[in-house]
Amino acid sequence: MKIAFYSTKPYDRIWFEPMAETYGHEIHFIELPFMADTASLARGYDAVCIFVNDDANAEAVNMLVDMGVKAILLRSAGYNHVDMKAASGRIKVLRVPAYSPDAVAEFAMGLLLSCNRMIHKAYGRTRDFNMNINGLLGVDFHGKTAGVIGTGKIGQCMIKILEGFSMRIIAYDPYPNKDLKVEYMPLKELLAEADVISLHCPLMKDTYHIIDEESISQMKKGVYIVNTSRGGLIDAGALIDGLLSKKIAGVGLDVYEEEEGIFYEDCSNKIIRDENLARLTTFPNVILTSHMGFFTKEAMHSIAQVTLENAASLEKGEELINEVK
């Protein structure tokens, strides 16, 4: 297949170029993000390949359909950046449902540990030979209660990691997994009991701002929150208020609701106009990373492989096991 590959970064070429030859695909790498303004660059191609911060809105999808593009290949599990109503029955949408759940869960735990024990602050001090540990006090996670919201593949990996710290695990998921030996409970009860809350759910209408002013008011004082899923799960304004009131002891964020155009880009010489994002970077107990929880060698290999296998299945008329319907 001829594939127009948007939002290309150097590491994408490393994994996709050699593998595309194996599958017999022809890839045209485009550094621009996918959106209505750039969709015309896919004219003459069989498929487009887009990433999480691209915007396949109705206008862009309609343009692809009009140009005869057969598929939107997602380099991600989530598909909230695609207007599925516009795509339904008109163009195939194929995703990578699970590339490395361990990578994301391990990163989530790394954020949690760093946030609690102020490892990032300690590192900065010792580089300047400031060996003072005042202000770096953390808590033991051993024996504490961890609340996992979303028990899909990544959530299950996170549960195993938390069990290794001898934590009590409670969980919320509208579709409980009966095979998991975990204590499910309503969201309101989880918020009230958890010392640590880790988000591992997709962004949908029902999960948008699942962490907001009301839910934060139900939490314990001194709670830690980690989000490696989607930025829209958290109301940033409410999160800042929770930090200012000291209701929240620490936050680890690998995602942000308005990250498009900022994450994955070098904005070091730009003025950040998003006041909430700029404010979050000023808190000593907040660690913000740029949507990199997935970024391991194993995950990149899996993303490339499954994406190109999806294209091959479409080309051959095989069953599309990763089609979003």
Mean pLDDT rounded to a whole number for the chain = 96
Whether 34 and 55 have beta carbons less than 8 Å apart is answered as yes
At 259-272, the pLDDT tens digits run 988 999 999 999 99
Q: DSSP string covering 21-53, please?
A: HHHT-EEEE--SPPSTTTGGGGTT-SEEEE-TT
The angle at the Cα of 324, spanning 12 to 54, to the nearest 5 degrees, equals: 40
CATH number of the domain at 2-99+296-316, please? 3.40.50.720
Label residue 292 exposed, middle or buried (CB < 10 Å: 0-12, 13-18, 19+).
middle
At 193-231, the pLDDT tens digits run 999 999 999 999 999 999 999 999 999 999 999 999 999
Residue 174 tokens, joined: 């509208």
CATH number of the domain at 101-288, please? 3.40.50.720
At 26-61, the pLDDT tens digits run 999 999 999 999 999 999 999 999 999 999 999 999
What is the helix (H) or strand (E) element at residue 227, kind and residue range? strand 223-227
Label residue 97 exposed, middle or buried (CB < 10 Å: 0-12, 13-18, 19+).
middle
In the beta sheet, which residues pair with residue 250?
A: 224
Mean pLDDT of 140-163: 97
Residue 143 reports pLDDT greater than 90: yes
What pLDDT is recorded for position 100? 87
What pLDDT is recorded for position 322? 97
CA distance 65 to 161: 44
Residue 317 reports pLDDT greater than 90: yes
What pLDDT is recorded for position 155? 97
Instruction: Classify residue 176 by its DSSP letter.
Output: -
- Model confidence at 161, pLDDT cuts 50, 70, 90, reads very high
Give the residue numbers marked as catalytic: 230, 259, 291
Taking the alpha carbons at both ends of the chain, their separation in whole angstroms is 22
Phi and psi at residue 7, to the nearest 5°: 55, 45
Domain ranges of the chain: 2-99+296-316, 101-288
What pLDDT is recorded for position 17? 96
Residue 195 tokens, joined: 């010392």
Whether 97 and 77 have beta carbons less than 8 Å apart is answered as yes
What pLDDT is recorded for position 150? 98
At 225-279, the pLDDT tens digits run 999 999 999 999 999 999 999 999 999 999 999 998 899 999 999 999 999 999 9
Give the amino acid at 246: K
CA distance 173 to 258: 25
The angle at the Cα of 232, spanning 297 to 199, to the nearest 5 degrees, equals: 60
